Amino acid sequence: MKNNFLKTSVTIAAAFIICAFYSVSDESQNPVAFSPYTDNVGLKLPLGFSATAVAENVGQARHIAVTDYGDIYVKLDRPENGNGVLMLSDTNGDGKADKTTGFGDYRGTGITVDKNYLYTSSNSEVYRYKLDAKQHVINPNAPETIITGLIDRRQHNAKPFTLDGKGNIYVNIGAFSNACQEKDRTKGSPGMMPCPVLDSAAGIWQFKIDKPNQTYGDGVRYATGLRNVMGIDWNKQNDKLFVMQHGRDQLHDLFPDMYTVKQSADLPAECMYMLNKGDDCGWPYIYYDQNQKKKILAPEYGGDGKKTGKPEANDPVVAFPGHMAPNALLFYTGTMFPEKYKNGAFIAFHGSWNRAPEKQMGYFVAFVPFKDGKPSGDWEIFADNFAGTDEVVSPGDAAHRPCGLAQGPDGSLYVSDDAKGTIYRITYNKK
């Protein structure tokens, strides 16, 4: 699905011009009107929404969590001054974080606040910290280790997670491989059959939130066949786990006789899946082609770009264009935003690196409307222009890259950026 923007001018009696921008998917005829973004810290937003930068230059901000009191916990990809977790506070009520405290000298991505605990992850462990009545960490130097010994082989090693509110935590364990080839990322190399990576990675593992020092043997492989999940959230409306998978890379590079450069830039889809215990989404044996709307047999396993495979594997509930890097998923349960957003899904697309020589894509926050726990309409771009330019040739051209999402106690939406370390707050002006 592609989104284009139509710019129109509206003349107001006071003789000034408002620029409106429209995002239209190729499956939808309903344009989304965008507000002027000169006062929105550079972002393009739907009419009625506005954005501010709550904090800047905090480091490589990955996932974030906001407390009931409005403090922001930030998980940094790598520690800054020995702190891998930051707490940002607005002590004077001006909408800007003016106090920063830090702890946790470890890398990682995942973070969430759940009542009396702050949960965080490194690339191989999950920790939790006891919180006081104002949801401040009581003893930052002594977290409880909930899960330990998870695979960290550098490739796809982040451990984002979510909770189900019933005592369970669901952790992504990404594949330490692109497509389970005998020689990873090597032209023409066949796929291993069966793929040994699936034994300990490429899936979602379920653990208990109150049992210390769990390892693989204490957990349950909840779902498999997922190359790498960065966006993960529990949908309270239908009580199901949803994830956003990063699709495989290099179809043209590895199999140039089967795929053009343009096909390789667009395929495979970045997929949203709804998961039940025991589900298999098919990696590495298949990928999803959003244009053919089919599960296609991977070339490493005898595919040619047209043959279908693994019919028993999950179909995605939403399929996006390839290589946009969905790094966060959030189901919106607040009341600040208009009714169309209630229980819908926001996705932070971090932006691609591997669409060259085509233009890179992503660098925005998308929205998918939901009804009764299932998608009920076409996806649309909600917040755009994080990159600051329409011509992103390489990721370094992007000024900002959205990575994490969180909902504030008032229903506002927070977005983290791991390029410049900006934390955005998006609000809606009810008129």
Residue type, position 301, single letter: Y
Dist CA 175 CA 154 (whole Å): 10
* CA neighbor of 173 nearest in space, from 118, 121, 236, 111: 121
Name residue, tokens 């929105």: 40
First to last CA, the chain: 33
pLDDT of residue 235: 98
For β-strands 294-297 and 286-289, DSSP reports them as antiparallel
Q: Which residues pair with 64 in a beta bridge?
A: 74
Q: Which are the contacts of 170, defined by CB distance < 8 A and separation ≥ 6?
A: 161, 162, 163, 164, 204, 205, 206, 222, 232, 234, 241
Q: Among 209, 18, 255, 37, which residue's Cα sits nearest to residue 110?
A: 209
Is the pTM higher than 0.85?
Answer: yes
Q: How confident is the model over 301-345, as pLDDT tens digits?
A: 999 999 999 999 999 999 999 999 999 999 999 999 999 999 999
Name the token pair of 273: 């899946």
The pair phi, psi for residue 251, each rounded to 5°, is -60, -45
Backbone angles phi, psi at 3, to 5 degrees: -125, 130
What does DSSP say about strands 99-103 and 83-89: parallel, antiparallel, or unpaired? antiparallel
- Give the residues of the chain that fall short of pLDDT 70: 1-38, 431
Domains of the chain: 52-428 (2.120.10.30)
Q: Per-residue pLDDT tens for 39-54? A: 799 999 999 999 999 9
Q: Which residues pair with 33 in a beta bridge?
A: 22
Which is nearest to 195 in space by CA: 187, 209, 184, 205? Answer: 184
- Give the pLDDT score at 184: 95
